[in-house]
Structure 1
Amino acid sequence: MSRLTVDLSKEISDRLTEIARKEGITKAEAMRRAFALLSVAEQEKAKGNSLGIVREDPQSHQLQAIGRVVGI
């Protein structure tokens, strides 16, 4: 496994720490997951697709698109 040193702003570092704590994972694992999401976004963008944000109705299990992820 390779090692990478990254300079983060205090805001991003604090948010990364918060996410890792809430998910019960290390900050390194949170960064790996963030990269995986970025990788999927890039692959889908190359196909002309985009990532969306959906909400599932708990009763009908129907999905409702409520947003689109842009700028990735």
Structure 2
Amino acid sequence: MKGLIETIVTPLVDYPDDIVVTETEEDSKIVYHLTVNENDVGKVIGKNGRIAKAIRTVVYASRTETDKRIYLDIM
């Protein structure tokens, strides 16, 4: 899943080396934290959050075998 997030975000940003995806797993959910360069945050979120919503839609659609919910935080 980390690779999928990085693949989606890399063409959107000016500083692809600053992309960091971390994973936190809890009992009922998996949270992915996406961190990008502060100059690229607006590009990843997009106007009115449209790009962030599209990224989340793709990530949520590619669930794992487990029944855990998946969340994506963009920082």
On whether the aligned pair clears a TM of 0.5, the verdict is: no
TM-score when normalising by structure 2: 0.26
TM-score when normalising by structure 1: 0.27
Structure with more strand by fraction: 2
